[in-house]
Amino acid sequence: MKRLSVVGGLVVVAGLGGWVLFGPIPPIPRVTSPTIVDRNGVVLYEPLGSRGERGAWVADVPPNVARATVAAEDRRFESHIGVDPIAIARAAAHDVRRGALVEGGSTITQQVAKQLLESDNRGAIAKLHEAIVALRLERRYTKRAILAMYVNLVPYGNQIRGIGRASRVYFGVAPQELTVAQAAFLAALPQRPGSFAHAMKRQRYVLAQMHASAEAKKERLRFDKGERTVIAQHFIEHVGTGSTPSYIRTTLDAKLQRTVQGIIAAHRDDLLRHGAHSVAVAVLNNATGDWLAWEGSGDYFGTNFGGAIDGVTALRQPGSALKPFTYAVAFERGFSPATILPDVPASFPTAEDGVVYTPRNYDGAYRGPLRARAALAGSENVPAVALLAKVAPPSLLRLLRNAGFSDLDKAADYYGLGVTLGDAEVRLEQLVAAYSVFARGGTYIEPRSVLSGAPAPSPARRLLSQRTAFWITDILSDSAAREFIFGRGGSLDFPFPVAVKTGTSQAYRDNWTVGYTRDVTVGVWVGNFDRTELHHSSGITGAGPIFHDVMMAAAIPRDTILDPPPNVERAPICALSGLRPSTSCPNVEQEWIATEAPVTFCSWHHPDGVAWPAEYRAWAKTATNVPQESGNRQPATGNFRVTNPPDGATYLIDPTLRKPYQTLRLRAVSDTRVTWHVDQHKLGVAERDTFLEWPLAPGSHTITATDNLGQQQSVRIFVK
Q: Which residues bind Zn ion (CB under 5 A)?
A: 574, 577, 585, 602, 605
Burial of 522 (C-beta count, 10 Å sphere; 0-12/13-18/19+): buried
| Closest CA relative to residue 44, chosen from 227, 242, 247, 223 | 247
Report, in Å, the least distance between residue 576 CB and Zn ion: 5
Distance CA 84, CA 61 (A): 22
Nearer to Zn ion, 461 or 606 (CB): 606
Strand partners, 588: 574
Q: How far is CA 215 from CA 71, 202, 207, 210, 654, in A?
A: 18, 18, 11, 13, 54
Which CB sits closer to Zn ion, 566 or 607?
Answer: 607
- Cβ burial of 356 (10 Å; 0-12, 13-18, 19+) is exposed
For residue 12, give every residue at least 6 positions away whose Cβ sits within 8 Å of its Cβ, in sequence order, or none: none
Q: How far apart are CA 575 and CA 588, in angstroms?
A: 5
Which residue lies nearer to Zn ion by CB, 337 or 545?
337
Q: How far is the CB of 429 from Zn ion (least distance, A)?
A: 44
Contact, 436 vs 284, CB < 8 A? Answer: yes
Which CB, 260 or 602, lies closer to Zn ion?
602
Task: Please report how close the Cβ of residue 593 comes to Zn ion at its closest, in angstroms.
Answer: 15
Residue 482, CB-side half-sphere exposure with 13 Å CA sphere: 23
* Cβ pair 629, 612 in contact under 8 A: yes
Q: Please say which residue, 576 or 717, places its beta carbon nearer to Zn ion.
A: 576
| Cβ nearer to Zn ion, comparing 603 with 702 | 603
Rg of the Cα trace of the chain?
Answer: 37
**Which CB sits closer to Zn ion, 365 or 611?**
611
Choose between 633 and 673: whose C-beta lies nearer to Zn ion. Answer: 633
E-strand spans in 548-673? Answer: 568-574, 588-594, 605-606, 609-610, 641-644, 650-651, 663-669
Q: 342 vs 527, which CB is nearer to Zn ion? A: 342
Q: Which of 6, 51, 2, 4 is nearest to 30 (CA)?
A: 51
Name which of 372 and 431 has its Cβ closer to Zn ion: 372
Closest approach of Zn ion to the CB of residue 605, in Å: 4
Q: State the nearest-atom distance from the C-beta of 584 to Zn ion, in Å.
A: 7
Of 156 and 612, the one with the shorter C-beta distance to Zn ion is 612
Strands 247-249 and 35-37, sheet pairing: parallel
Nearer to Zn ion (CB atom), residue 137 or residue 340: 340
40's enclosing H/E stretch is none
Give the span between the Cα atoms of 478 and 455, in whole angstroms: 37
Pairing of strands 278-285, 520-527: antiparallel
User: Residue 89 contacts by C-beta under 8 Å, 6 or more apart in sequence?
Assistant: none
Whether the CA torsion 486, 492, 495, 497 is positive or negative: it is negative
Q: Are 57 and 164 in contact (CB under 8 A)?
A: yes
Q: 37 vs 602, which CB is nearer to Zn ion?
A: 602
Nearest approach, Cβ of residue 577 and Zn ion (Å): 5
**Which residues neighbour 113 within 8 Å (Cβ) at sequence distance 6 or greater?**
129, 130, 131, 133, 134, 137
Residue 585 beta carbon to Zn ion: minimum distance, rounded to whole angstroms: 3
Smallest separation (angstroms) from Zn ion to the CB of 626: 13
CB-side neighbour CA atoms (13 Å) of 21: 7
For Zn ion, give the closer residue by CB, 43 or 611: 611
The CB density around residue 655, as the number of other CB atoms within 10 Å, is 6
Residue 610 Cβ, how far from Zn ion at the closest point, in Å? 8
Alpha-carbon torsion (363, 369, 375, 378), positive or negative: negative
Helix (H) / strand (E) element for 720: namely none
Q: How many CA atoms lie within 13 A of 20 on its CB side?
A: 16
671, burial (CB in 10 Å: exposed 0-12, middle 13-18, buried 19+): middle
Q: How far apart are CA 197 and CA 202, in angstroms?
A: 9
Reference 137, options 126, 128, 123, 147; nearest CA is 147
Which CB, 31 or 585, lies closer to Zn ion? 585
